[in-house]
Amino acid sequence: MEPVEVAAWVAHSLFSGVWTGSVLFLALAVLPLARDGSLNAAPLESLVGKVKTISRVSALAMLLTGGHMAGTKYTSESLFETESGWLVLTMVTFWFLLMATVEVGGSKLIDGTERDKVREPAAAARPFLLTASVCAVALLVTAGLISARNLGYF
């Protein structure tokens, strides 16, 4: 494997870990605190802003590195006609859903912070951030399946 391909795989893996980890942290650690009113609006707004920034940067980095990896490994036929290609398309679907649900959920969570509201926005953001969490885990599982397939395990 060429150094550029290795760098793309490493960067892709790092950004996916940071992105999914930050989303899971927001949904599983921060959101419950906001829902029960234990967080003030200012720290919540700051945390959500950081997670949204991580999400945007990671989504772009993964688009670039994943696009490079797919472009060097797949043709349009193999992408749509092989199990490996279907896994890549599944990963792209989870990538898009994760990006969208973090944006919507994060926006809903920040909505009331300028009015010092925390519980109400947290309740509105909950379904989106829980969906984002499921997408984050599914994205990592799909990545594991692609790696296992590339290594010849199935």
pLDDT given at position 103: 97
Per-residue pLDDT tens digits for 14-47: 999 999 999 999 999 999 999 999 999 999 999 9
63, 72 contact by CB (below 8 A): no
**Tally of CA atoms within 13 A in the half-sphere of 13 that contains its CB:** 9
Residues of the chain with pLDDT under 70: none
> Could you tell me the two tokens for 102?
């973090």
Predicted TM-score (pTM) above 0.85:
yes
> How far is 83 from 105, CA to CA, in rounded Å?
32
